[in-house]
Amino acid sequence: MGVWAFLAAAIAVGLGALGAGIGNGLIVSKTVEGIARQPEAKSTLQTTMFIGVGLVEALPIIGVVLAFLFYAAA
């Protein structure tokens, strides 16, 4: 049972990090595009970007918590 719990923990953390990396890249790239098109909206776009990045970063944190739970249950 220990090997499967370790594998489940690794998958949870790995997929969470992969998804967050892709999501953060998309958010930042679209924000930079928006700032390039409308420089006067920079502060609004940056605020929205930081909120979005914070929400996306919740996914790997939840993945780490689940990994601890999977590993502790074994």
pLDDT digits (tens, 9 = 90+) for 28-64: 999 999 999 999 999 999 999 999 999 999 989 988 8
For 16-43, give one letter per residue: b (16+ CB within 10 A) or e. beeebeebeeebeeebeebbeeeeeeee
* 22, pLDDT greater than 70: yes
Contact 31/53 with Cβ under 8 angstroms?
Answer: no
**Euclidean distance between CA atoms 47 and 57, whole angstroms:** 15
